[in-house]
Amino acid sequence: MIKTIEWTDEGVVMIDQRRLPSEELYPVFTTYDEVAVAIEEMVIRGAPAIGVAAAMGIALGAKQSAASTPDELESDFNQACDRIAKTRPTAVNLFWAVKRMGEVFRAVKQSGASIEAIQNRLIKEALNIHEEDIESNKRMGRYGAQLLPQDVTILTHCNAGALATAGYGTALGVVRAAVEAGKTVNVIADETRPFLQGARLTAWELAKDDIPVTLITDNMAGHFMKSGQINCVVVGADRIAANGDVANKIGTYMVALAAHANNIPFYVAAPLSTIDLELKSGDEIPIENRVITEVTHIRGQQISPDGIQVANPAFDVTPHRYIAAIITDAGVARAPYEESLKALFK
Amino acid sequence: MIKTIEWTDEGVVMIDQRRLPSEELYPVFTTYDEVAVAIEEMVIRGAPAIGVAAAMGIALGAKQSAASTPDELESDFNQACDRIAKTRPTAVNLFWAVKRMGEVFRAVKQSGASIEAIQNRLIKEALNIHEEDIESNKRMGRYGAQLLPQDVTILTHCNAGALATAGYGTALGVVRAAVEAGKTVNVIADETRPFLQGARLTAWELAKDDIPVTLITDNMAGHFMKSGQINCVVVGADRIAANGDVANKIGTYMVALAAHANNIPFYVAAPLSTIDLELKSGDEIPIENRVITEVTHIRGQQISPDGIQVANPAFDVTPHRYIAAIITDAGVARAPYEESLKALFK
């Protein structure tokens, strides 16, 4: 069992995903600011995992507060929330977790609880989010596995696995549930430039679980679809708008286009916490641009010449018309998504 | 002026494209077998450049023959041709060059020429192929430039530039001709995994010529098309079937799908020597699979875990229905390609 993130007395322990697969390191992050930097620098990544890290970072900030009154604690708490909320803009699970922690804080404070009681309640809430995420992934996996044929080759992009969540995974949760249901499953993993989440993380965690995986470069996906070697696509999501448009790791859109052109069902697996009903369409989802050295350098080695421009948008938006179904922890939604997604929240 | 390949008294000199852009080295290849290995290991690559290298390799083999009769020379010549023809399967320019050298050999031999005269004639033919390729690229460039708007951002995949030809380039020849025609040209270059021809070669040669270039990873192309930042796509080709289906560097098919979905014209630029009228459709084009370390390692560093499967097809086929026009050295062909391509040869 891969331990992506854990709450300990010393602080938040996370597997350093930048170093995988060559090194399996578990550094401890001892302040909310260290947790924030870990999110920014992608020690931890993947929308649900970012949500858990955000909650634990906020709990850590509250725990370490030297406040002597609940009002002072609130000020420290808000500072931690603000810092955490500024780490990454696209994955909505981050803001969902910040909001949820804030609601708990205010409710407990209003009830007249002591500083220590508030602190303990926040830690409890972060642990709840962690635990619920694993349960939610397992439910999602079961819903998703039912959509797959008995013998299936699944293409996935980026890493929406145990490493992108508290455990089990969203897209790879569907893969794991299909295996557990006795299906014959092969995975084709896009390497996912520039950060190589597919080559480094998806390939690593599937190999660890003895699930057959074939690594390809991102630009090969269309070729394997056209030559009939892929039955369906399952990816995760960083934010889903009310109309079903999906922001996910850069390149997802091209995978969806290739699936559409080849009549291959394209599934998105994500918990309700990834769905942002406040945004009408994917056009409103903010897309993070990251440092260009992620593109120009691989493992510290420069691959491109100096004196050129470089772009590095970390996500793209896949229009809902290319999505066969959105698999959530509350069931499977299909078009028209305006209605089906809203219904899941009831 | 970039010198991709040159005939010298010491042998065939090629810029080592595996080392660009970090090092600019010009090793000399002194036997036909060394030239064959250079093609296999991608010291030189790009369909037209492979054609030139093949011709020069064969000329070198003939020049170094110790034959004392024309018949003995023919045996040595055939051995060199066979070796060169086995280097890479997809780019048809290789076979075109082998065939052309064979026709010249047989014609000169039949005329009763001396061994030395035959050898000199073969060297002359290799030099002709080299020179014609540059001229053909310039013609193609002028045809192609006329298709572009005055202010244009062109996406290209892989390297179809000076480095992929004897000089000037096919797709990048169109870019250069548009610049020479006074157009405002920006290029967006796909990095082109696994061999990184875009990041290493296209970016390098455009920067050298002061043509503005922005490097992206392959999976970003769709995002930039959808957000309206690309006006057209121009790529090269390794083999074009009679119906207009185009084999080109892996990933070209996904670029074509994204262009199609966003109503962006997708152009292919290639000389007549890349068109193989003997193949009815792209289904018949052999696709080379290369060593998996190209995918699992970048600059000697392993990026993926052990114990997984890896695939590495080097090319894919783009169906003709996604191609707005094929720009050749004999003019521009449009659908229906069965007729328009055949007409170019008249």
Per-residue pLDDT of B101-140, as tens digits, reads 999 999 999 999 999 999 999 999 999 999 999 999 999 9
* Inter-chain touch A254–B222, beta carbons under 8 Å: yes
Q: Where are the domains of chain B?
A: 5-138, 142-343
Q: Which of A200, A213, A304 sits opposite B199 (nearest CB)?
A: A304
Q: Which of A22, A219, A310 sits opposite B214 (nearest CB)?
A: A310
Query: How close B306 gets to chain A, by Cα (Å)?
Result: 8
Is the pLDDT confidence value at B243 over 90?
Answer: yes
Q: What is the pLDDT of residue B300?
A: 87
Query: Looking at beta carbons, which residues of chain B come within 8 Å of A90?
Result: none
| pLDDT-derived band at B158, boundaries 50, 70, 90 | very high
Q: Which of A204, A229, A304, A306 has the most B C-beta neighbours within 10 Å, making it the best mutation to test the interface with B?
A: A304
Query: How close B209 gets to chain A, by Cα (Å)?
Result: 11
Q: How far, in Å, CA of A340 to CA of A242, rounded?
A: 9
Q: How far, in Å, CA of B260 to CA of B262, rounded?
A: 5
| pLDDT-derived band at B323, boundaries 50, 70, 90 | very high
Q: What average pLDDT score do residues B214-243 get? A: 98
CA B274, B277, B282, B287 torsion: positive or negative?
Answer: negative
Query: Looking at beta carbons, which residues of chain B come within 8 Å of A295?
Result: 191, 199, 215-217
Weakly modelled stretches of chain A, pLDDT under 50: none
- Residue in chain A closest to B317 (alpha carbons) equals A223
- Residue in chain A closest to B251 (alpha carbons) equals A219
- B238 assigned to active site: yes
* Inter-chain touch A220–B258, beta carbons under 8 Å: no
| pLDDT-derived band at B14, boundaries 50, 70, 90 | very high
Same topology, domains B5-138 and B142-343? Answer is no
Residue B100 CB-half CA count within 13 A = 23
* Inter-chain touch A308–B213, beta carbons under 8 Å: yes
Q: What is the pLDDT of residue B131?
A: 98
> Which residues are CB-neighbours of A293 under 8 A, at least 6 positions away?
none
* Inter-chain touch B224–A305, beta carbons under 8 Å: no
Is the pLDDT confidence value at B343 over 90?
Answer: yes
User: Interface pTM (ipTM) of the complex?
Assistant: 0.96
- Residue in chain A closest to B186 (alpha carbons) equals A309
Q: Which of B251, B301, B317 sits opposite A219 (nearest CB)?
A: B251
Q: What is the pLDDT of residue A172?
A: 98
| pLDDT-derived band at B299, boundaries 50, 70, 90 | confident
* Inter-chain touch A220–B303, beta carbons under 8 Å: no
Q: How far, in Å, CA of B4 to CA of B20, rounded?
A: 12
Is the pLDDT confidence value at B99 over 90?
Answer: yes
- Alpha carbon of residue B117 to chain centroid: 31
Q: What is the pLDDT of residue A300?
A: 87
Is the pLDDT confidence value at B305 over 90?
Answer: yes
- Rg of chain A taking only CA atoms, in angstroms: 20
Q: For the packed helices A92-110 and A115-145, what is the interaxial angle rounded to 10 degrees? A: 140
The string of pLDDT tens digits covering residues A23-37 is: 999 999 999 999 999
Mean pLDDT of chain A: 97
Q: Domain spanning A142-343: which CATH class is it, in words?
A: alpha beta
Q: What average pLDDT score do residues B157-186 get? A: 98
Q: Which of B215, B166, B163, B161 is nearest to B188 (CA)?
A: B215
| pLDDT-derived band at B1, boundaries 50, 70, 90 | confident
> Which residues are CB-neighbours of A244 under 8 A, at least 6 positions away?
A320, A323, A326, A333, A335, A336, A337, A338, A340, A341
Q: What is the pLDDT of residue A139?
A: 98
Query: Looking at beta carbons, which residues of chain B come within 8 Å of A304?
Result: 21, 191, 196, 199-200, 203-204, 215
Q: What is the pLDDT of residue A299?
A: 87
Query: Looking at beta carbons, which residues of chain B come within 8 Å of A258?
Result: 253-254, 257
Which fold is adopted by the domain B5-138?
A: Four Helix Bundle (Hemerythrin (Met), subunit A) (1.20.120)
Q: Which of B255, B308, B316 has the most A C-beta neighbours within 10 Å, making it the best mutation to test the interface with A?
A: B308
Q: What is the pLDDT of residue A1?
A: 78
Single out the catalytic residue among A133, A190, A218, A238.
A238
Q: What is the pLDDT of residue A279?
A: 98
Helical H segments across A149-242, by residue range: 171-180, 197, 203-208, 221-226
